[in-house]
Chain A
């Protein structure tokens, strides 16, 4: 289930389940979006990106969906594994070469 902690919402799933992590972005002018995975004590790791001219993009075990109408981004992870446990951040940018604004993050906990 999903719970909201003091700062970081948490999504707990069982190994093998599909996970969906959501993100509401803030700037309607943003046209480039990225999902990052951050393990404890490490820097963010690129997962997948999407530009605003697309609604969906698929990678290996991951899919990003973009709904510009409601400014919503989601990351779907298929067959979640314990190694997927981490904090996931969405980030947005106005024009890909400008700065990134990170969302609040969601902690994904995968139990075996």
Chain B
């Protein structure tokens, strides 16, 4: 149980285009989802926290107009990287916390974004 999926697993896009990444909780309902970014050989950095039906809370330094987050249902959150540039190339990972009261965050497999 507690499986989180991400789609796509990898994507290559041209500079200036937008790309959407989906995060789904497959067998549980997630009231809260988190989006992280990870550069090679570095740690995970939290980008934003999203609660179902409300606006996302962004971490300091993360541009909310560039990284659009939508958490429209208890099983789906999306991250859209708008007007992507090569410096946005990274590994994007989502996690989800369920409604059971547990602290645990369940992580997705990540999405590798390459902007050319």
User: Taking beta carbons and an 8 Å cutoff, which residues of A are in contact with B?
Assistant: 5-8, 32, 34, 36, 41-46, 49, 89, 93, 96-97, 99-105
User: Taking beta carbons and an 8 Å cutoff, which residues of B are in contact with A?
Assistant: 4, 6, 34, 41-46, 49, 91, 93, 95, 97, 103-110, 112
Q: Among A7, A44, A49, A104, which residue has the most Cβ atoms of chain B within 10 A?
A: A44
Q: Secondary structure of the A side of the interface? A: loop
Chain B min CB distance to A33 (Å): 11
Are A41 and B103 in contact (CB-based, < 8 A)? no
Number of A-B residue pairs, CB cutoff 8 Å, is 52
Q: Secondary structure of the B side of the interface? A: strand
Nearest chain-A residue to B104 (Cβ)?
A: A46
Q: How far is the CA of A11 from the CA of B22 in the complex (A)?
A: 35
Are A99 and B104 in contact (CB-based, < 8 A)? no
Q: How far is the CA of A110 from the CA of B6 in the complex (A)?
A: 29
Are A102 and B103 in contact (CB-based, < 8 A)? no
Are B93 and A44 in contact (CB-based, < 8 A)? yes
